Amino acid sequence: MRTKIVNSAVIFVFLFLAFGLFNLQVIQGNRYRELSNKNCIRLLPQPGTRGRILDRQGNIIVDNYLSYDVMILPQEEKGLEKSLTKISGVLGRSPQDLKEAFNSGFTVPFLPVTVAKNIDLKKVFALEELKPGLANIIIQPHPQRVYPYKRLACHVLGYLNEIDHWRLRKLADYGYKAKDIVGFGGVEEKYDYYLRQEEGGSSVEVDHRGRIVRLLGFRPPQSGKDIQLTLDLKIQKIAEDKLRDKKGSVILMEPYTGEILALANNPNFAPSIFMEKSEASITNLFNNPHAPLINRAISGLYPAGSVFKLILATAALETGKINPETTFSCPGTMHIGRQEFSCWDRHNQQNLYNAITHSCNIFFYRTGLLLGAQLIHNYALKFGLSKPTGVELPYEAGGFVPSPLLKRIYKFQNWFDGDTANLSIGQGELLVTPLQISRMMAVFANKGILITPYIVKAIEGQRITSQRKITRVPIKESTIDYIRGALKNVIADPNGTGNVLSNLSVSVAGKTGTAQVAPGQKSHGWFAGFFPFENPKFVICVLLEHGGSGFASCVLAREIIEAMIKEGVL
Amino acid sequence: MRNPKFIILLIALLIASIGILSIYSCTYQKEGKFWELIYQRQILWVILGLVFFLIMSNLNYRRLWDITYILYALMILLLLLVFVLGISRLGAQRWLRVIWFNVQPSELAKLIIVIFLSRYFSSKSVDDISLRASRFGILRGLLFPFIFVAVPMGLIIQQPDLGSAVLISFIFIAMLYLAGVRLRYILIFLLVALFSGPVFWHFLRDYQQERILVFLNPNIDPLGAGYTIIQSKIAIGSGGIFGKGWLCGTQSQLHFLPESHTDFIFATLAEEWGLAGSIIVLFLYYLLIRQGIQIALRTQDYFGRLLAWGISLMLVIQVFINIAMTFGLAPVVGLPLPLASYGGSCLFVTFISLGILANINRTRTVF
């Protein structure tokens, strides 16, 4: 009994399917054939607006405005030619030009093709008047990125461009499609998923002349989320202003939380170039030997120079290899192995305090040799060197801190005392990013905390506080206090290397550095410091690529701090 | 020629060849190494499937009775492994990587559940060797088997693989019915399932909810989930009576139709070969399943009979859900068309099932 019922159910299922086929292919066959032939379903996409980017006070750094694109619905040849001629009359472009744009933009018959982008409002009205006669023209409002401050903070922001092959492969699973506009570099790339708008649109059935017969469905577009940065627009402006005409990077950071208040690099670029789509200027940008697209503050690798001596000082005091009373004499040069190492000046008998103040090389050669390379390496890692700081910007470099083991592994070479000496003054193979140095300096400013720098404060008004790692560097408070004192003396002492920063209405502490590069080229100039000395509110790091010396960076830092005092942001 | 094993093999290979032709048709224009080789891989899998068929058809199916519990444990283990080691693709974690290809354990689970239920319901009473299923109370007739089916099903839903889960619940109901469980228990089960629907709704993923809403009205999301259904209907409908011809389907070739080589292979086929071709394919499926049903009717052994029924119905339900899905008459749940869709796991399991069928036919006279 039951088997018979099941047997008939099976037969019924197949008859049902056969009837379904018959219904679709014969009864409704003509309708579907037509839909398929002309593909009468047109999709009219309606883009949402991408999230804006704000500074810490809520000032808009990146905004959107409506631009208008002219689109054409693909259909029979005759109507196309006619519409293109009319459009070319209004826009003042040749019909061949438009035809080419049409052919290159054509993907499928049911999607409209953009033939002209970003036309001004007057022409929009003129075209709207043409529309009753020419049904296949669509004028599509299209939100565009606008940068009210032009180049400001360009490396933090990044730019927008059409998705490339590599990104598309990675992101296809997250709903990204070919020809999508996505962020490249900076916050635009890292937070693209949040900033990104969701395309809405309507599907309509159109007749053979491209007129809309009826609306089949509609989905409203969704706007992206606004992102608030920790940047302070005023400070950022000052930093970029002072850095102009120079090559390098400036970072200002809050020492206790790691909020980045300003991050400026020069040379820089105008992100709007990518919106305008002028091939020549984009190619120029990519081929520029000064690499304006590189965010030097996080991706630039430089020898640390004398700034690195602070790590030796800490290591030496912590391990007890020297104490505040230990003195070394500096005769100007010394021999290590067969090589002669020199100091930039002659200093007499001096202790650590004065050695930091005068940035004496000989003192640190001797300290370094006492410590040994492995210990120096270990302490550098405690200060966060040799790995990315974890700031939420893409393409952060990790840097490199050499050690005997690493040299053996990578170069199959032995480690010599000369290498230790080079490392002791931040030369040799040591490479750091300006952000790593800012973070290291913050440890002295906030008395022992290794913060994770960050740049995004809130997404759509919601503060993000998770995943910020704050670790305590295991060093004694007395050591930090001692080095802080020395850092203050670098500025306060008339013979200190950073004396140019004294006599400001705010007390600054810091360390200069002059990192030698290949012979014949000017040295990189470093200044890393914090101010006000008692209750630090800012960590500053200035790097001038081939700036000559640490002195040049000190001068720049002074200009920035002076401007900040004048603007009242201190 | 009258040998059912030979007929089953012939029909299966015919359908698989038609599948390969359609897979070639909708992928040969796509660029990339993966797409160029895809039909060759399917050919390789059909050949391997053939080997599985021959092995299974020569292996006494009563052995499955002996190892039912081992198979059940293996299935649970594999499904759990998917969560630990599984590979995510298209937002679902369904695949296990085995050396050089990906296995989908949920495909295997369908067959093992059929074997398990067949054994469970073919237990005989000691005194008069009649089937006990019709005298089962609600506990043994409904609740216990449901618990055994619900465990792997829950794991499959979590992957998430809604299609396989739906299929398994259909198989479960069909097996209850065929085993002779009292009708009122089946009705109770259906009612409970119906009323727990709204509760179950909240456990579905967003995209699954969306798909069911879209199934009810494809036009609410014409750019997203509804797009597939609309394009699939256009593809089938535009095929007309004789179709557009092989390699000439515009819908599948111009990439209007997503998943045209896997879940929507029938739409590709119907577009290119029209009503004539698709009716032939439907008829082939019917013949195949008819063989299965006849084997079931001829077999005296209760276990073998239920197993043959279960396998035949598994195929019917899969064919029905998949094809109805391409018509827009069932929600898009991601279930392949057995033998025709691209994909190794489904193909192997189908060939293994058919091999078991053939063996039941061979061994039935033993009892």
Identify whether the C-beta of residue B238 lies closer than 8 Å to the C-beta of residue A36. yes
Where does residue A30 fall: left (phi above 0), alpha (psi -120 to 50 degrees), or beta otherwise?
alpha
For B271, nearest residue in chain A (alpha carbons): A25
Identify whether the C-beta of residue B42 lies closer than 8 Å to the C-beta of residue B19. yes
Candidates A16, A25, A43; nearest CB to B222: A43
Pairing of strands A137-146, A60-72: antiparallel
d(CA B41, CA B234): 29
Amino acid at B213: L
Terminus-to-terminus CA distance in chain B, angstroms? 25
CB atoms within 10 A of CB A211: 11
Identify whether the C-beta of residue A527 lies closer than 8 Å to the C-beta of residue A555. no
Amino acid at A123: K
Does B330 lie at the interface with A, CB-CB under 8 angstroms?
A: no
Ranking A224-233, A404-413, B93-102, B106-115 by mean pLDDT, the lowest is B93-102
d(CA B323, CA B320): 5
Candidates A35, A41, A219; nearest CB to B221: A219
Identify whether the C-beta of residue B246 lies closer than 8 Å to the C-beta of residue B20. no
Domain ranges of chain A: 2-39, 42-229, 233-567
Could you report the per-residue pLDDT of B53-89, keeping only the tens digit for each? Answer: 999 999 898 899 899 999 999 999 999 988 887 776 6
Hey, what's the torsion of the CAs at A543, A545, A546, A550, to 10 degrees? 0
Does A179 lie at the interface with B, CB-CB under 8 angstroms?
A: no
Mutating which of B178, B223, B287 best tests the A interface, going by the most A Cβ atoms within 10 A? B223
Q: Looking at A372-416, list the stretches that DSSP marks H as alpha helix, in order from N- to C-terminal side.
A: 373-382, 404-411
Candidates A11, A24, A43; nearest CB to B327: A24
Spell out which residues of chain B touch residue A24, defining contact as CB-CB under 8 Å: 233, 236-237, 270, 327
For B329, nearest residue in chain A (alpha carbons): A20
d(CA B277, CA B165): 30
d(CA A538, CA A256): 9
Contact state of A108 with B254 under an 8 Å Cβ cutoff: yes
Could you report the per-residue pLDDT of B209-220, keeping only the tens digit for each? Answer: 776 776 666 666
Candidates B222, B275, B329; nearest CB to A25: B275
Identify whether the C-beta of residue B51 lies closer than 8 Å to the C-beta of residue B321. no
Mutating which of B236, B264, B281, B299 best tests the A interface, going by the most A Cβ atoms within 10 A? B236
* Phi, then psi, of A504 in degrees rounded to 5: -90, 160
**Quick one: pLDDT at residue A214?**
66
251-290 in chain B: CB under 8 A from chain A: 251, 254-256, 270, 274-275, 278-279, 282, 285-286, 289
Amino acid at B11: I
Output the CATH code of domain A233-567: 3.40.710.10
**Quick one: pLDDT at residue A317?**
94
**Tens place of pLDDT for every residue, chain A, 570 residues?**
788 999 999 999 999 999 999 998 888 888 888 777 655 566 777 778 899 999 999 999 999 887 888 888 776 555 777 788 888 888 888 888 888 888 877 766 667 788 887 787 788 888 877 776 676 777 877 778 889 998 999 999 999 988 888 888 888 888 788 778 899 999 999 999 899 888 777 777 665 455 566 677 787 888 889 999 999 999 999 999 999 989 999 999 999 999 999 999 989 999 988 887 677 888 888 899 999 999 999 999 999 999 999 999 999 999 999 999 999 998 888 998 888 888 888 888 899 999 999 999 999 999 999 999 999 999 999 999 999 998 989 999 999 999 999 999 988 999 999 999 999 999 999 999 999 999 999 999 999 999 999 999 999 888 877 567 788 999 999 999 999 999 999 999 998 999 999 988 999 999 999 999 888 889 999 999 999 999 999 999 999 999 888 899 999 999 999 999 999 887
Spell out which residues of chain B touch residue A17, defining contact as CB-CB under 8 Å: 282, 319-320, 323-324, 327
Contact state of A35 with B238 under an 8 Å Cβ cutoff: yes
Hey, what's the torsion of the CAs at B174, B176, B181, B186, to 10 degrees? -80
Q: CA B57, B61, B67, B71 torsion: positive or negative?
A: positive
Contact state of B236 with A21 under an 8 Å Cβ cutoff: yes
pTM: 0.61
Residue whose entry in the numeric block shows the structure tokens 């049904």: A135
Where does residue A399 fall: left (phi above 0), alpha (psi -120 to 50 degrees), or beta otherwise?
left
Bridge partner list, A145: A64
Spell out which residues of chain A touch residue B91, defining contact as CB-CB under 8 Å: 173
User: What's the order of all strands across the beta sheet hosting A41-46?
Assistant: A41-46, A200-206, A212-219
Does A214 lie at the interface with B, CB-CB under 8 angstroms?
A: no
Spell out which residues of chain A touch residue B233, defining contact as CB-CB under 8 Å: 24, 32
Chain A nearest CA to B91, separation (Å): 7
Spell out which residues of chain A touch residue B282, defining contact as CB-CB under 8 Å: 14, 17-18, 21
Does A60 lie at the interface with B, CB-CB under 8 angstroms?
A: no
Contact state of B180 with A35 under an 8 Å Cβ cutoff: no
Chain A nearest CA to B179, separation (Å): 9
* Local structure of A425: helix, strand or coil: coil
Go through chain B and tell me how many residues it has.
367
Peptide bond into A324 cis (omega under 30): no
Q: Was domain A42-229 assigned CATH 3.90.1310.10?
A: yes
